[in-house]
Amino acid sequence: MTDYGKLLGPGKLEFRREFDADIEKVWQFLVDPEKRKLWFCGGSTDDHVGGKMVLEFDHRRLSESPPPEKYADEEVVTHQCTILEYSPPNRLAFSWGESSTSETSEVVITLQEIGTGRALLELVHSDLTGREIIVSVFAGWHGHFDLMAEVLAGGRQTDFWVRDQQLEAEYSERID
């Protein structure tokens, strides 16, 4: 299995990542704001369909490096999401409203146990528009999953923005 995501079709990408943690622990790192902000973003998460999920990105917590120019004026970015499915510890789906546009995409995350203390996470992110957005989303999820693996193993070491820029260059070449 590769850590790289793949394009499933127009505007639809998938990641399949294995983690050295049981699915209950991985689930907590998806829905608990204090745990989630260690690898991704903070913000509240309701525990029911129709509830809200607030994604508050403050990458200063994840990076010693300054953000790239295209994100330089964004200290904290908040996205309002609606929970479409909430089935602990196996499935979480939500709409992702972009803060700067009226566009909405959909994220579906499925977890399954693949052995003692190991979890497989499958993420499908769909309804993405434009090559630049798709490259950015690929790099973002990939880099954040790298951080999640480090946090689950006991400590984050990677500088998010350095890794993100490497991944954007790689995905830009990988996507035709």
pLDDT digits (tens, 9 = 90+) for 115-126: 889 999 999 999
Quickly state the pLDDT bin for 92 (edges 50, 70, 90). Answer: very high
| DSSP 8-state code for residue 6 | E
Highest mean pLDDT, choosing among 63-67, 140-144, 152-156, 158-162: 140-144
Quickly state the pLDDT bin for 99 (edges 50, 70, 90). Answer: low
Beta strands in the chain (DSSP E): 6-9, 12-19, 52-57, 77-87, 91-97, 104-115, 118-126
Please, what are the domains in the chain? Answer: 6-174 (3.30.530.20)
The reported pLDDT for the residue numbered 68 is: 82
Q: Which of 133, 139, 124 is nearest to 171 (CA)?
A: 139
83-88: average pLDDT: 98
Cβ-Cβ contacts under 8 Å for 45 (sequence gap 6 or more): 31, 32, 33, 36, 51, 52, 53, 54, 83
Cβ-Cβ contacts under 8 Å for 119 (sequence gap 6 or more): 18, 19, 21, 22, 23, 25, 26, 111, 112, 113
